[in-house]
Amino acid sequence: MKILFPNIVKWLGRAGGRLHSRLAAEVRSAVRSNAGQIGMRVIEEEMPLVKSVVYEALRIEPPVSMQYGKAKRDLLIRSHDAAFEVKTGEILFGYQPFATKDPRVFDRAEEFVGDRFVGEEGERLLRHVVWSNGPETEGPTVENKQCAGKDFVVLVARLLVIELFLRYDSFEIEVGSSALGSSVKLTSLKRASL
C-alpha cells in the first residue's frame, strides 16, 4: 500500500480535471442511488470507471515490478516473436512492465488511460494485467505464485479512489521520489460541490 496508494494518486493527479469530474460523477451517483451506502455490489456493478483507473494504475506501474521463481517442470514460454525452452529447476525472472506496457496488447501503452478497462473490450484486456504475478482474470491457488491478497489490494485501492471523489471534485499534485518509489504531495484540493 505504501507503493500503490501514492502511485494511484500520482496517476490520477496527472490525468487531470476531465477524468476527475467523470470519477466524481460516477462515485456520487452510485452512492446517491444506494441511499448513501457503498457495498461490494455497488463498487463492482456501478463504478466501472473506478475499477478501470485502479487496474490502469496497476498496469502502468505495478507496485512489485519484479518477480522470480524456479521452473517446476520443463516448459516452453512464447512471446509474440519467439519461444524459449525452460528446463526444470531453472530460475525465471519477470519484469512486469515488459508485459503490462506491451504496445502489441495495449494501445497507447505508455500513457495512463483511465477508461482503458471499461466495457466489454476493456474487460478482455484484464487478462494482460499481471501485477499480482499472474493474470488479473485468474485467482491465486496453492499451485501458482499469484498474490493471495490481490482481491483485497484491488478493493482497498478502489475504496481510496471512492473516498477521494466523495470528498473532492479535483486535486493537483507535485511528484517527487522516495525510497519506495514516488512521493506525492497534494498541492490543491477542490472540495466536493454536491
Helix 4-15 and helix 48-60: axis angle, to 10°? 110
The CA-atom distances, in angstroms, between 39 and each of 97, 118, 150, 152 are: 32, 20, 19, 14
Is 138 strand, coil or helix?
A: coil
Of all helices (H) and strands (E), which one includes residue 25? helix 17-32
Residue 132 class from Cβ within 10 Å (0-12 exposed, 13-18 middle, 19+ buried)? buried
Classify 93 as helix, strand or coil: strand
Dihedral of alpha carbons 61, 154, 47, 100, sign:
positive
Point out the annotated binding site for heme: 147
65, 91, 144 from 72: Cα distances, Å: 22, 10, 11
Binding residues: 147
